[in-house]
Each structure stands twice: as C-alpha cells, then as structure tokens.
Chain A
Amino acid sequence: MINLPSTFKISLRALRVNKMRSALTMLGIIIGVSAVIIMLAVGAGASKKISEQISSMGSNLLMVFPGSTTAGGLRMGSGSQSTLTSSDAEAVKRECPTVEEVAPILNGSAQIVYGNQNWSTIVYGTTPPILYVRDWSLTAGRIFNDQEVKGASKVCLLGKTVVDNLFGDMDPLGKAIRIKKLPFTVIGVLAEKGQSLMGQDQDDTVYIPITTAQRKIFGREGSGITDTVRSILVKTKTTADLEPATGQITDLLRQRHRIGTNQEQDFTVRNLTQMMNVAEQSTQILTLLLAAIASVSMLVGGIGIMNIMLVSVTERTREIGIRMAVGAMSWDIRLQFIIEALTLSLIGGVTGIIIGFAAAKAVSTIAGWPTIVSPFSIFFAFGFSGLIGIFFGFYPAYKASLLNPIDALRYE
C-alpha cells in the first residue's frame, strides 16, 4: 500500500518548508562528497603521471651502482668510488642470459656553449643501446655508431630543453657546440620525455659517446684508468627476468671484482622498475587513505541528517498522528522519512559531485596538478551518499512509525 510518487512529493514539500535547515544539513554531505571526488581525482591524476613517468624511464630496468669502499678502515658512502668499468658492462651483456641489453653511463654536469649562448646541463657518456634500454627515440638526426664510440668522436645528441636554450628555433643538426671548451658536432635530437619520477627534467641532457666522456670530458688526468663508468643500465628480456638477472649480475660482478664470500661487495644492483611500481602503489594507497578520510566527513554529514530527521519527527508528531488516523501504515510513515533523508543526502551528493568536479578542474588549471574525475568516483560518491541517507534516515523513520496515534494526535 505504498505510493512512491506521492510520498516523494510529501518529502520534497517538507524539505522546502525548512529551506535553510535543509541546506545546512546537506552541507555536511556536500563537503564530504566533494572532498572524496577531489581526493580521488588528484590521486588518479598522480597515478597516471607516475605511470607515464615509469614508462618514460623504460621498462624492465636494473641499475648497477658502485658500492661503498673501505679505505684504511674508513668506510665511504655508496658511489664514493668508481669501481665499475665499461668492460663490466660488456661482461654483463655477454654472460647473463636474462639480460637483453646494457648501457654504461658516465655522467656529470658541464657548461656547454653555442655561439653567444651557454647552458649548464648534465652530460651523459654512453653507448648506442641507451636509446633501446630507455625506450627513447630521436626526433632528428641519428645516434652515434660503434665506430664513433670506439674512436671517442666528438659528436653529441641534445635533449629538447638544451636545444630550446641554445638554439631557440634554429635547427641544431650539424652545428658545432662546445662542451667544456671542446668542440662537438650535433648529430641528433632526442624526443621529449618530460619529468622523471624524481622531478628532474629528462630533456635537459646531452648524450656523447662513453669513450669521449671517459677520456676527454670527465677523465681524471693521470689516473690511468680510462674505462670507469658511473653506473650501468640493464634491460632484461621480461619483467619476470628482473629477479634472476639481479642474482646473475651480482654473481658475475663479485667474481670479476674478486670479492670473497664474506667481503662486502663494491657495487649495488637496483631494480628500478620495482621501485617505480612501489611508488605507484604507494600513491594509490595514499589516494585511498585520503578518500577514506574524506568519507569520514560524509559519515559526519550522515549523522547531521539523522539529527535533523529526529528533530523533524518530533516537530511533526501531530502530522504523523493525523496520517496514522486516516490509515497510514508503518511503512508509509517510515518511507516518508527515509525518502526525506534520502532526498537530503542525494541532493547533497549531486551538489558535492558538481562542486568536487569543478574544484578538481580548478586544481588542474591553477596548481597545474593533473586530476582525473573517474566515472567510478562519481558513482561511488553518489551511491555512498544514498546509502548514508538510507542508513541514517532509518532510525528516525522507525521511531516515527512506532508513535502511538492517540498520543501523536494529542501532541502540542
């Protein structure tokens, strides 16, 4: 015997009568819902950015760093000694079956000059496979070939940021620049990659053959060793190969560096892909945590609704009595108040979604953070506010339906 459209009309009228009160009651839900929407949008945006950065880094990557060394009982920090060499890199490529490609790296900052422009950037000495290892491509020109690496040629590839700063709109190909006063010919331009996970501009870079870096740019004069590298980037065949490759590389390098079983090794192998994935996961966890906190304010909003509904039931005791006297059954009364609470929470929910959506867009445009309002978050916020309306509306509605019609009719 329940007449939904009429019950809905009755509820709407009751809410209209107390416009201010209804609006204030909705406020809790509005704030909660918009907070949930914003949190999820910022989180989803951050996740997307991180996964873009992960793919810009290259996939299935391991990185080998020099480890700490002990000099006269004094333990130095990680990377304090250059213990890795180009031949280590070659050996890794040659002897580890799970390794697909390697790229040794020797980097450092250097001042570069073109004409009357100059710019400080990071110069990377490396080998041709670097492009494959880092899933990078060129927009113009070519990468140096093995001959040029062997001959320590003075050729270089420029990142987008360097091109912009030195050449502006000019075509840099074939031009001569100076790196640490030595003349280099620009033979290629790297595609734009954007920020790395650590916030570095990956396009602010110059690539030169590793031999050139070792002998002419960063080589230690008089040190005699000319094939040291700062790190070795390793790409494995599949993601599943990352773990076994770590073991294989460790074993190989321990052997090559003649490190005994109980001795501390002078290098570290890091699983970059895993690190990135952990970063992505922690962003997701953080997002969920923030959304959970925002949900708490929806819960508080729900308690506000319950509070107002209880007041409303008391105020309208006589009305309830009249309705009962003319034949309203318990569920008629219950539904009336539940629908009233539901209407409050859903109007609040929809308003909150609109505000949250607008705020997420504002965050994107003003703060420059990427935000994504997913259909899931809208659905979640709407559904959750509906559930809150029903949950917190039920008790007041139940209380109303338990009223004794005689007492309710006499209530002043």
Chain B
Amino acid sequence: MALIETDELCKIYDLGGSSVRALSGVSITIERGEFVAIMGPSGSGKSTFMNVLGCLDQPTTGRYLLDSIDVGGLSGDELALIRNEKLGFVFQGFNLLSRTSALENVELPMLYGNVPASERKRRALRALQSMGLDGWEKHHPNQLSGGQQQRVAIARALVNDVPLILADEPTGNLDTKTSSEIMELLVKLNLEAAITVVLVTHEADIAAFSRRIIKFLDGSIVSDVVVKKT
C-alpha cells in the first residue's frame, strides 16, 4: 500500500471575489521509503501541496489517503492526531520553541501523544543522540548554531516513530556545508530507518540528494522523474 495517494487534489482560495486556483487536479502516489524532492517557482502550488500533505490544510476537492486513511472531512483534532502519529515537519526557519531546551523541544510531540514522562526523556535523548547532539540537550535554540537547530528539529520530527517526514526548504537558512550535512542526515534516515522523506526546495543540488523529483507549475505537476534507483 502506498504511503501517500492523492487523487485530483484541488485547492481554491477565495480572495474577496476573485478565486485563486493553487492546486488544480494533482494526482500522485508516493510509496514507503521514497525520497522525493518537490521543485517549482514561487506560486506554483508546491507549498499548498505540502500543507495538504502535512494535514495542515484540507483540499477543496479531491481525495488524499495518508497511510490508507482518508484525510478528507476529518475534524481539526483528528488531523492533529494524524500529524502527531504519522508525520514530522522540518521547516526552513527551524520553528523550535524559544526559551525551551533542545530536549524539551524534542519531547513536544510525545507530550501531545501522551507518552509517560520517563519514556519521553529516554526517547528524546536517543533521537538527539542519533542526530549527533549528545551533550547539547540542555541548550536553548539561541545557544545553538543553525545546523544544530535544524538537527534538533529533525530529532523532533522523527521522535514519534513517524513513517513520513515533510521538509519545507530545510536548508534554506543554512550555508552550503551545513546544508549537505543536513541532507546527508535525511538520506541516512531514509535509508536506514526507512522513513519516507518529501522535501520542497529551490536548489538543484539539494534536490540531487533525492531519488525522485516532482516539478510543479501553476498548481499542476509538470514533470515527475525518478533520478536514481535505491
């Protein structure tokens, strides 16, 4: 069974009289274990698509199955539960809670997943460790470098043992060297932990880390190419 299956997704924004078609009929299937890069100019609909994939937004029409669950028509709280159990986000701006230690940031998804406190700590420490952040767990985001912050964010994304990581320009705020470090971490997660990664990027060399590149233009997919086999 495919992890992500969309069928004729449409998203229409109503902007005071004039309606904007952000997505027009996007049908796509992403299997478990894939590493997909989504590319396209601004306004091509790739962010809207990511929001729908991330269960942050509902399509106007069309069907979206995530891990065989029909996301359409679910309530806000049901979507929150799916976000908690099925996917992790990695953002361009890291989006860590300030004045909160790395450890507590990583514990956050488990807090809302009702994991007992001792278990939370154990799993968060393990996730930070796997990101090479031993000894940094007590530091607050403003005491960490950009690369470290993004690694905390990745640890937070995967700590609930989710099958899918959605990364929205994860290297947009990082220099080239750190960018490739982060990308290598994602590749490693994809290969070793079989986590499906979908990432949005502008840059071709970042997209080159993926094995499948989907290009968007004006709310539709214009190309979908498998660039390398696993």
Q: Chain B residues in contact with chain A, CB under 8 A?
A: 51, 54, 56-57, 76-77, 80-81, 83-85, 88-89, 91, 95-100, 108-109, 111-114, 117, 156, 160
Contacts and interface: CB of A to CB of B under 8 A. Distances in A.
B108 A326 contact: yes
Contacts of B76: 329-330
A115 interface: no
A405 B52 CA distance: 12
Contacts of A17: 99
A324 B112 CA distance: 9
A329 B111 contact: no
Contacts of B160: 327
A328 B99 contact: no
A1 B91 CA distance: 25
Interface of A: 1, 3, 5-6, 13, 17, 318-319, 321-332, 405-406, 409
Contact of A328 (B80, B88, B89): B80
B57 A327 contact: no
A326 B109 contact: yes
B80 A409 contact: no
A325 B99 contact: no
Contact of B91 (A323, A329, A330, A409): A409
A315 to B, nearest CB: 11
A406 B77 contact: no
Contacts of B51: 406
Nearest to B108: A326
B56 A406 contact: yes
Contact of B80 (A318, A322, A329): A329
Q: Report, nearest first, the 6 A-B pairs whose CB atoms are least far apart.
A: A327-B84, A326-B109, A327-B112, A329-B77, A329-B80, A328-B112
B112 A1 contact: yes
Contacts of B56: 325, 405-406, 409
Contacts of A327: 80-81, 83-85, 109, 112-113, 160
Given A326-B83, A326-B88, 5 more contacts: A325-B83, A325-B95, A327-B112, A330-B76, A331-B77
20 contacts: A1-B81, A1-B114, A3-B111, A3-B112, A13-B100, A17-B99, A322-B95, A325-B95, A326-B83, A326-B88, A327-B84, A327-B85, A327-B112, A328-B80, A328-B112, A329-B76, A329-B77, A329-B112, A330-B77, A406-B56
B91 A326 contact: no
Contacts of B80: 324, 327-330
Nearest to B81: A327
Nearest to B83: A327
B150 to A, nearest CB: 14
Contact of B108 (A1, A323, A329): A323
A309 to B, nearest CB: 18
B114 A326 contact: no
Contacts of B109: 326-327
A409 B54 CA distance: 13
B42 to A, nearest CB: 14
A406 B56 CA distance: 6
Nearest to A2: B114
A21 to B, nearest CB: 15
Given A330-B76, A409-B91, A322 B97 contact: yes
B48 to A, nearest CB: 9
Contacts of A318: 95
Contacts of B77: 329-331
A332 B95 contact: no
Nearest to A6: B111
A406 B81 contact: no
A334 to B, nearest CB: 11
A60 to B, nearest CB: 68
B112 A319 contact: no
Contacts of A329: 76-77, 80-81, 112
Contacts of A321: 95
Contacts of A331: 77
Nearest to A325: B89
Contacts of A319: 97-98
B112 A332 contact: yes
A92 to B, nearest CB: 81
A5 B114 CA distance: 11
Nearest to B166: A325
